[in-house]
């Protein structure tokens, strides 16, 4: 399967801990997006990379959130000092042209 993969699929953590998620995009896709989805809502945009450059960040992305895409390949999203409000599904998508291809997401639960 050459689709977008995300790891881990599920993460349970205690409030105040740091967590890191990984996204492996479809090979040769130069654009990579992170979204967050809470129950009953559509996904919300967090940030976007073109190759290794982070070109846009939502104001939802507080200073506790950081994303990287070294060498324009996989990407990581780190949340420091997690809060209960960070509990959500974190989705990654990649694209080469117009269509975005989504991964299965990482479900974060903060206790």
Q: Which of 71, 79, 18, 17 has the alpha carbon at shortest distance from 47?
A: 79
From the CB of residue 101, how many other CB atoms can be counted at a distance below 10 Å? 15
For residues 31 and 49, what is the distance between their CA atoms, to the nearest angstrom?
Answer: 6
Residues 50 to 79 in contact with another protein, rule: CB under 8 A: 56
Among 93, 94, 108, 110, binds another protein (CB under 8 A): 93
Among the candidate windows 10-18, 68-76, 80-88, 100-108, which touches another protein by CB under 8 A? 100-108
Contacting positions for another protein (CB under 8 A): 4, 31, 33, 35, 40-45, 48, 56, 91, 93, 95, 98-105
């Amino acid at each position: 399967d050459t689709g977008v993969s995300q790891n881990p699929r599920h993460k349970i953590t205690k409030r105040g801990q740091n967590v890191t998620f990984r996204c492996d995009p479809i090979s040769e896709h130069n654009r990579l997006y992170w979204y967050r989805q809470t129950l009953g809502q559509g996904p919300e945009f967090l940030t976007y990379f073109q190759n290794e450059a982070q070109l846009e960040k939502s104001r939802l992305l507080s200073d506790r959130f950081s994303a990287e895409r070294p060498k324009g390949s996989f990407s990581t999203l780190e949340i420091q000092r997690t809060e209960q409000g960070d509990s959500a599904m974190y989705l990654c998508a990649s694209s080469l042209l117009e269509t975005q291809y989504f991964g299965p997401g990482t479900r974060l639960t903060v206790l």
